[in-house]
Amino acid sequence: MDWGTGLAGLVTGLLIAVITAPVGVSGAVFLLPVQLSVFAVPSPAVTPTNLLYNVVAGPGALLRHHRTGTLHGPLVRRLVLGTLPGVVVGAAIRVFAIPGPVVFKALVAGFLLPLGLWLIIRTLLPSRRSRQARDALSPRAVTGLALAVGVVGGIYGIGGGSLLGPVLVGRGAPVAQVAPAALASTFATSVVGAATYALLALSGPGSIAPDWFLGLACGAGGLIGGYLGARVQPHLPEKALRLLLGTLAAAVGTLYAAQSLT
């Protein structure tokens, strides 16, 4: 890996994190397609590389939220406790069940495309149902959702919180409450997920260990971008951020849907 690629990874991680951190998304959900298509990270090593990005990038936004006192509360504990066991299961599934890039791209498309469209519709067509759905989410339901998302996050390499953030925000929960909880969940599960992949790499077939140089470079950019994104969160319009996230997710999902069919 040359230094030019490392610089490109740093800039990519920074730009993505600045845009996504204000709504509780680390940016790994959008970084992964770049690692596959631009940096040509092999599969399944791309997943732990993405988790490594989260580990390095996460403290930037978390530090800012800690300083403002928003890292406390029951939602943080529920998301972390739910996603931690799920990411271990997801890592095992990723290595032993779906290591091929074609299947992986289809999985990416199948999740990102409907998620992006759902976010766009929820943002453009707000209704009373959003408030009802939010009120109906019991603590047990939130933990169960976190567990399921943890499994998907372990497969996809996004730590889990990157999926929980858009889902909870899309259902009407305030961004100021969801963002720090989702980012804390992403960081915790990424640490566990990266460690799980490192252990699986000792005995599993193929390229399982992360691309350390690229993961650290992207993470360094995400560290800076995450802090900046969390800092400007109170000054950014929530509706515009939701639309941006939905559009990016839908675009990436469409791209990989087309690639998986060719």
Give pTM, 2 decimals.
Answer: 0.78
Neighbours of 212 (CB within 10 A): 12
- 207 closest CA partner among 128, 68, 104: 104
Our count of domains for the chain comes to 1
pLDDT grade, residue 212 (50/70/90)? confident
Helix, strand, coil share (%) of the chain residues, nearest 5: 80, 0, 20
- pLDDT at 33 exceeding the cut of 70: yes
Amino acid present at 64 = R
According to the model, what pLDDT value does residue 12 have?
Answer: 94
Query: 192 with 84: CB under 8 angstroms?
Result: yes
Judging by beta carbons within 10 Å of its beta carbon (0-12, 13-18, 19+), is residue 138 exposed, middle or buried? Answer: exposed
Q: At what angle do helices 101-124 and 28-37 cross, to 10 degrees?
A: 140
How open is the CA angle 120-81-201, to the nearest 5 degrees? Answer: 90
pLDDT tens for each residue of 13-26: 999 999 888 877 78
> Which among 204, 172, 164 has a CA at the least distance from the CA of 188?
164
pLDDT band of residue 11 (cuts 50, 70, 90) is: very high
Tell me the C-alpha distance between 64 and 208, whole Å. 33
By residue range, what is the domain housing residue 13? 3-261
